[in-house]
Amino acid sequence: MGAKIVSQEVIIIGIAGPSGSGKSLMASTIVSEIGSDQVVVISEDSYYKDLGDMPQDARKSVNFDHPDAFDHALLCENLKQLQQGEGVEIPQYDHSTHSRLKTTKHIGKHTIIVLEGILLFADPTLRELMDIRIYIDTPLDICLVRRLERDVTVRGRSVESVLRQYQATVRPMYLQFIEPSKRYADIMVPRGGKNRIATDMIKAKMNELLGYANNGSSRIE
């Protein structure tokens, strides 16, 4: 690839990887430690399609690890609006009911948008909107343990239901969509948010990008 001159005011950094890999931890850690209101996190989970019109039992049978489960068109639209300096209303999703809340989260103009989710790199249109792509490459056994802890304690699921979902859709969809998408990453990070060296390096790059943006200058990649 040749050098790319990047001069837009809004920089989008994508963090992808399997469920439970540590994407959210890395994104929240970086943003918290940078401590700038110019940086914001958007989760792909917010763009799950609303299943509020479906019977409750039918919602549980939906494959939530397939790209079709997400409204990536709306996500792309919102990201383009943010790139143009416009504010957007981000959907809020309730995992316990598989439906969107009536309330939304307003996001205004920010210099850096950190986008995190499992299938970000599997969508070509979405992928091309990102300036930097980071893949969290965590072993699947560790991901499963983390997913169990999260879904049981935070999302009110039973251990049995989490394991059934993992075997039926989570692992197969990882092999079909998520794992192949890591070839599009610019940076590969093992161990997720607990990888302190990688976290510090990404923070340093983001601080550099904030400096470029604040100075109003272009950069060459």
**Host H or E run for residue 116:** strand 112-117
3-state helix, strand, coil in the chain (%, to 5): 50, 20, 30
**Which of the two residues, 14 and 211, has the higher pLDDT score?**
14
How many whole angstroms separate alpha carbon 10 and alpha carbon 111?
Answer: 5
- Predicted pLDDT at 32: 92
Which of these CATH numbers, 3.30.70.2610, 3.40.50.300, 3.30.70.890, 3.40.50.800, describes 10-210? 3.40.50.300
DSSP designation for 178: I
167 pLDDT higher than 80? yes
Mean pLDDT of the chain: 89
**Which of the two residues, 1 and 120, has the higher pLDDT score?**
120
Q: What backbone torsions phi and psi does residue 46 show, to the nearest 5 degrees?
A: -65, -20
Contact 168, 60 (CB under 8 A): no
| In the chain, where the domains are located | 10-210
7 pLDDT higher than 50? no
pLDDT digits (tens, 9 = 90+) for 145-165: 999 998 888 887 889 989 999
Contact 195, 189 (CB under 8 A): yes
pLDDT digits (tens, 9 = 90+) for 36-81: 899 999 999 999 999 988 888 888 789 999 999 999 999 999 999 9
**Which of the two residues, 155 and 84, has the higher pLDDT score?**
84
- Predicted pLDDT at 209: 87
1 pLDDT higher than 70? no
Note if the pTM is more than 0.75: yes
- Predicted pLDDT at 214: 66
